[in-house]
Chain A
Amino acid sequence: MSIQRADIEKLAELARIHVNEDTVTATTLGINRVLELIDQLRAADTTGIAPLANPLDATQRLREDLVSETVDRDALQAAAPAVEAGLYLVPKVVE
Chain B
Amino acid sequence: MSWETVIGLEVHLQLATRSKLFSGAATAFGAAPNTQACAIDLALPGTLPLLNKAAVEMAIRFGLAVDAEINPVSVFERKNYFYPDLPKGYQTTQLAHPIVGPGHLDIELADGREKRIRIHHAHLEEDAGKSLHEDFHGLSGIDLNRAGTPLIEIVTEPDLRNAEEAVAFAKKLHAIVTALGISDGDMSQGSMRFDVNVSVRRPGEPLGTRTETKNLNSFRFMERAIAKEVARQIGVLEDGGRVLQETRLYDGDTDSARAMRSKEEANDYRYFPCPDLLPVHVAPALIEQLRASQPELPDARRARFVAEHGLSDYDAGQLAADTPTAHYFEAAAKASGDPKLAANWLMGEIAARLNSTETAIAACPVSPAQLGGLLQRILDRTISNAIARQVFDALWNGASDADAVIEAKGLKQVSDSGAIAALVDQVLVANPKQVADYRAAPDDKKAKMFGFFVGQAMKASGGKVNPQQLNALLAARLNG
Query: A interface vs B, CB < 8 Å?
Result: 10-11, 14-16, 53-54, 56, 58-69, 71, 73, 76-77, 82, 84-95
Contacts and interface: CB of A to CB of B under 8 A. Distances in A.
B34 A76 contact: yes
Given A71-B35, A85-B141, A95-B261, A59 B278 contact: yes
Contact of B51 (A10, A62, A77): A62
B25 A69 contact: yes
A58 B280 CA distance: 9
B143 A53 contact: no
A92 B140 contact: yes
B37 interface: yes
Nearest to A65: B54
Contacts of B40: 69
Contact of B37 (A16, A60, A62, A71): A71
Contacts of A60: 51, 277-281
A87 B141 contact: yes
Contacts of A62: 51-53, 56
A89 B142 contact: yes
Nearest to B214: A95
Given A66-B19, A69-B24, A86 B35 contact: yes
Interface of A is mostly: loop
B55 interface: yes
B133 A63 contact: no
A68 B143 contact: no
B131 interface: yes
B141 A88 contact: yes
B23 interface: yes
Interface string B17-40: 111000111100000111111111
Given A56-B278, A58-B278, A66-B19, A89 B24 contact: no
B436 interface: no
Given A71-B37, A71-B38, A89-B142, A63 B75 contact: no
